[in-house]
Chain A
Amino acid sequence: MDQPSEKSIKRMRIYVEKYMQKTGTSGHPEPEVTESVILGLANNIDEVGRPLCPCNFYPDKKAEVERSREWVCACDEMKKWKYCHCLLFVTPEGTPITEHLPEDHEGRQIYGLVKDPTPGKGRELADKA
């Protein structure tokens, strides 16, 4: 497993910090979880040119990036519902926000109802939810 480039890692660190502020979310209480995801995003920038979410399986990453920006961070689920299954943008307790998800979404089944501590922030695609 090659280490991503410093340039991509730095780009993602800055992005993640700014996006947390914008959405009022927090990092995971276990720093290695956040670090791992940042490295995964940076690795995908190096590999396919976009910060594709490292918490999904793609049969073909290049084809996925060409297909849609759905899983490019911040993914559509984050922008619509403020839900990050990758645990990058979470509550201070380290749980993904599920309040805005449809009730039949897997996130609701896994984590139950998790209230959004900063409902006035984020959800730039809320109108498409």
Chain B
Amino acid sequence: MADIQQVSDSSFDGDVLKADVPVLIDFWAPWCGPCRAIAPIVEELAGEYDGKLKIVKMNVDDNPQTPAQYGVRGIPNLILFKDGEVKQQIVGAVPKAHLVKAIDDVV
């Protein structure tokens, strides 16, 4: 399992939009049950795609600007960025295969 970097409204630009590799950002909240359910899958993916994909998390309770900017409503909400652009957006505690397919389409 890999440690997932937490990003904030203030670090989003540098950590996500200007990253050298594609980035999967997991928008989550502390009391969100499905966020908890999907967290181990996201951690597994961070290990499996190490070097090819950067995976980060953002607590929407502490960072309201970025989720508002990207139209986040239901959480968990995972957005895949490449070269600063949104390539995929996935809502809910989806199966791992669903995430892998979305990632493989972009990475």
- Which residues of A pack against B, CB within 8 Å? 1, 28, 30, 32-34, 36-37, 39-41, 43, 54-57, 59, 85-88, 106-107, 110-111
Q: Which of B60, B75, B91 contacts A110 (CB 8 A)?
A: B91
User: Could you say which residues of chain A place their CB within 8 Å of the CB of B77?
Assistant: 57
The interface residues of chain B lying within 8 Å CB-to-CB of A40 are 29-33
Q: Which of B32, B64, B94, B98 contacts A54 (CB 8 A)?
A: B32
List chain A residues, Cβ under 8 A from B64. Answer: 57, 59
Which residues of A sit under 8 angstroms from B33, Cβ to Cβ?
A: 28, 32-34, 36-37, 40, 54-55, 86-88
Task: Tell me, yes or no, whether B72 is within 8 Å of chain A by CB.
Answer: yes
Size of the B side of the interface (Cβ < 8 Å), in residues, is 25
Residues of chain B from 22 to 69 with CB closer than 8 A to chain A in the complex: 27, 29-37, 60, 64, 67-68
Is A55's CB under 8 angstroms from B37's CB? no
By beta carbon, the residue of chain A nearest B94 is A110
Tell me, rounded to whole Å, the shortest Cβ–Cβ distance linking A125 to chain B: 19
Chain B residues with CB under 8 A of A111 = 92
